[in-house]
Chains A and B, each alone.
Chain A
Amino acid sequence: MNKRRFIPGIFIGGFLFYMLLPIVATYLFSIATRWDRTILPEGLTLEWYKTAFVDRWFLIVFKNSLVISFSTVIASIAIIVPTAYWVHLRVPKARPILDFISTLPFAIPGVVLSLGLIRLYARPPLMLARTPAMLVAAYVIFTMPFMYRPVVNSLKAVNIKVLTEAAQSLGSSWLRTLGQVILPNIMPGIISGGLLVFATIFGEFTIATFLVGARFKTFPMQLVYYTRRDGRIASAYSVISFTIAWVSSLFILWVATGWAKRSSSGGGLSRKEISSKVMGDGR
């Protein structure tokens, strides 16, 4: 191998090793009979998966996390997409403000956000504290940058002002323009944002624990519970969590691209094109 290929090879190889090692180790640990006295696992077994699946809590936390994650994705799209569209179209001066607000969740720790929300919503008339609805509301805030950024990038990539004006001149209302012209064209950004939000929420522990605690147990809570009892079962939970996040992401991708095609009356970007745009869209 010549030098020109060797040096990039080292970097890429090192990067892949660094990224994949914890995942591979988790997968291995979840099927190891024991792996704390030897370099390699002492034996292989599916016992820990069996334990995880037969646990009566498994289906409950799985369903809870799925419901919360999907609800957050939908709420996030419903709130952020029209806002970003309107601001970009009509109030361009407010863009920097929105950009700033969208970075706030990065600056505020989950614990602080949770405690603040509990204090705010624990009194009448709202009384939302410690309800799943409040968890979704908090997650929309917490994941705002993940939805906002890709959507804004997509809005910038298509000339929404001219497209909106073209639709208006043809008699289209604001809602129809958004639904039939703008949404299909920024779909890669929405899907990209949806996937990021979904993946983040499905594995989120801190806010869920603080906001709802044992009243509404989620998948990561159960995972943490098992880390205190048996790391191998916890590993099995982690692997299941990875897999669910992957499968759900593919499902969202499949549903959304199908919708994008239907909404444009049998045309628009192909699934393959949207997938490639989503994968290439800005995080």
Chain B
Amino acid sequence: MSYLDLIHLDKSYDGTIAVRDFSLQVEQGEFVSLLGPSGCGKTTTLRMIAGFETPDNGSIILAGQEITSIPSNQRGMGMVFQSYALFPNMTAWNNIAFGLRVDRVPASEIRIRVNELLDLVGLSNEGHKFANELSGGQQQRVALARALAIEPRVLLLDEPLSALDAVVRVSLRNEIRRIQTALGITTIYVTHDQEEALSISDRVVVMRRAEIEQEGTPEEIYVQPQTHFVATFVGTMNQFSGILKDGQQGLVVSSHGDLELSIPPIPVGSIQAGELITIMVRPEEIHVSKVDEEVGEENFLTAVLKSISLLGPVTRLELDFQGQLIIADIRTVDRHRFILGKPVQLSFSRDACRYMPGVDYSGDDSANDGLKEVEGIKKP
């Protein structure tokens, strides 16, 4: 049995299903992220673990003990909230000491422990300050220290970085991971930011519409998405719909004109020849070259360059291929090789192609910011 067992949890509010048949096993010391768009049930799941919500069905087992109906103040879960939730009437020091005082820890011990925690989160000199005298990042560090002070059985973080600016977000998420690893605390982390989830988790659970869509290591989620939704929600994905011509040879006829795509061979029985299939390629796996250049990859097509966005070390190109938007990432140093409005050659290998049966009807919650409609180009 694992350390934390969530078994068939259901929760609905006034007939609206928030979480449906949610089961998850978390090992001791593991860092698991619940990732999904807003309203997917990830926060409700976290709140059921914390004891703030009672599941309609199912049970929660922690270290072999059923805790489903135990009140939140007896569960020993440390919680960090999106809004920090520091007690405004107390200093940072007293915020951290609060849980220890509740626990009747001797004053001398509290002093040592709070100072250690302030040190751990890098705020040794800020203990005397009130919440409104600290920056957002500092407040969240105090909130983290406060949750850690009670030596929680599980640390729960509910979108802790959403309210912070980009730079602080990255440094604090690394710090959360560092502290979590150092202390070996079992952690459940809720976020809608896929980059955040992929970068700090041991395991990611992608949720959509109250259910688990896929769970796996960050690499599994990114490299081998199992559903259309995961493929488009986690990272950016170009999609080509088509009809399978030959599964064993891995040949697909794209619905766009005469394009034929080579994909890895499809195991017998999964998708039949003549059936609809979706091919997916990550932007970074598309090789962009000038039209007259020789390419080595199996798949290639010509598209018109519509926009160039500098993202830092990588530059994102938006291209129009017969009315379909294609996104390709190139090294920023190469960006001057291509001219807006001119055709370029795109190529990608057979192994870069993932495939799924059918066509993506996942609806509007795919939340793929990269594949929005631009300049009259339709979303693939």
Chain A contact residues, CB within 8 Å of chain B: 158-159, 162-163, 165-173, 176, 180-181, 184-185, 260, 263-269
Contacts and interface: CB of A to CB of B under 8 A. Distances in A.
B72 to A, nearest CB: 5
A264 B98 CA distance: 10
Contacts of B103: 171
A185 B73 contact: no
Interface of B: 50-52, 71-79, 81, 83, 85-91, 94, 98-99, 102-103, 130, 143, 146-147, 149-150, 156
A184 B102 CA distance: 17
A171 B102 contact: yes
A185 B99 contact: no
B133 to A, nearest CB: 11
Contact of A267 (B73, B83, B90, B143): B90
A169 B79 contact: yes
Given A264-B90, A267-B90, A165 B98 contact: no
A171 B89 contact: no
A162 B90 contact: no
A170 B81 contact: no
A86 to B, nearest CB: 16
A48 B214 CA distance: 87
A172 B85 CA distance: 15
Given A176-B102, A265-B90, 13 more contacts: A158-B88, A163-B85, A165-B79, A166-B85, A166-B86, A168-B51, A169-B50, A169-B78, A169-B156, A171-B150, A260-B89, A266-B91, A268-B130
Q: Taking chain B's interface residues, is the majority helix, strand, or loop, or is none over half, making it mixed? A: mixed
20 contacts: A159-B85, A166-B79, A166-B86, A166-B87, A167-B73, A168-B73, A169-B73, A169-B147, A170-B98, A171-B74, A171-B76, A171-B102, A172-B98, A176-B102, A180-B98, A266-B91, A267-B94, A267-B130, A268-B88, A268-B89
B89 A264 contact: yes
A264 B94 contact: yes
Given A162-B81, A264-B94, A172 B102 contact: yes
A170 B99 contact: yes
Nearest to A183: B89
A266 B71 CA distance: 31
B89 A181 contact: yes
Contacts of B150: 170-171
A162 B102 contact: no
Task: Specify which of B50, B71, B89, B94 lies most central, judged by the most chain A CB atoms within 10 Å of its CB.
Answer: B89
